[in-house]
Structure 1
């Protein structure tokens, strides 16, 4: 018994340089346009028996725009960035360069007072491991790119530092197949059936 969990990265809410930690902004105009263009390829994923999303406005809006009517999951929220919430990486680096270095090099570190990288990956992995499994149960989840990176790191049992080497573009998809602690990465053509 196993599940197919397809993760869809939420559409963008800002340009890459304007992205902020733990950002709660809704989709921007470009994000809405991207969803409209990607919809034909992503709509077939809506056949999944279980549909979830991150509780962020852009994840909910992405899922709703695709007609998934996803259920928000608190465990799929972005990493808690403590006092860095709402700031860009450039702003934090200018204010606290040593703290940023510690955060990037030590997965147990949480100099911002929020959640460490390891705790974040474990939280997302715990959600992944508790998905209902049946004979090929299909699950989709629209989530922040950081959540998709954490799920991949966890699912592949990769060292936490791998998280920093995974690029997740808005509206990209990836599927993990398996169950509780035993996951495999499955790559499909964009919008393939889950």
Structure 2
């Protein structure tokens, strides 16, 4: 039995350099415009038997705008960043440079008082592994890019440091196929689609 889980990265709520830890801002106008442009390619995913989203406003709004009517999944929330919540990486670095360095170097560290990167990856992976197992079941989940990166690290059984080397763009899709503990990354799309990005 195999599942097909397609993650859709939430549309943006800010410019890349202004992204904040545990960002709970709604979609900005550029984000809404991106959803409208991508809708034609992403609307078919609404046919999935199960549709989920992260609890952030932008994930919910992205899912709703695409017609998914997704169910919020708390396990798909962003990493708990403790006292750094709402900061950009630059702001956290300016205030606590040694703590940020420790956090980036050790996936078990929690200098911010929140959740470690390793715990975050395990939480998202636990959600992935507990999806209902029905052969051929299709699932779509709209989530923050950080959640998708965590899912990929978990599914590929990659070292946690791989998390920092994955780039998940707004409204991109990533598909995993398999079942609990045995996942494969599936690349899809045509050369025409790739040339538009």
| Common fold: TM-score over 0.5 | yes
TM-score band w.r.t. shorter chain: over 0.9
Q: TM-score, normalised by structure 2?
A: 0.96
Other-structure match for 2:85? 85
Other-structure match for 1:11? 11
Other-structure match for 1:183? 183
Task: Give the match's secondary structure for 1:111.
Answer: coil
**Alignment gaps of 5+ in structure 1:** none
Equivalents in 2 of 1:91, 1:150: separation in Å?
23
Number of positions where the alignment pairs a residue of Structure 1 with one of Structure 2: 191
Other-structure match for 1:68? 68
Other-structure match for 1:165? 165
Once superposed, what is the RMSD of the aligned Cα atoms? 0.9
Equivalents in 1 of 2:106, 2:174: separation in Å?
27
Task: Give the match's secondary structure for 1:135.
Answer: coil
Deviations 1:64-109 (A, max 9, x none): 0000000000000000000000011111101101100110010000
Equivalents in 2 of 1:140, 1:158: separation in Å?
23
Q: TM-score, normalised by structure 1?
A: 0.97
- Shift of the alpha carbon at 1:134? 1.1
Other-structure match for 2:52? 52
- Shift of the alpha carbon at 1:133? 1.4
Matches within 5 A, 1:102-181: 102-181=102-181
Deviations 1:118-158 (A, max 9, x none): 00000000000000111111000000000000000000000
Q: Post-superposition, which runs of at least 4 consecutive aligned residues in structure 1 deviate over 3 A? A: none
Equivalents in 2 of 1:74, 1:117: separation in Å?
17
Equivalents in 2 of 1:22, 1:104: separation in Å?
17
Equivalents in 1 of 2:98, 2:135: separation in Å?
49
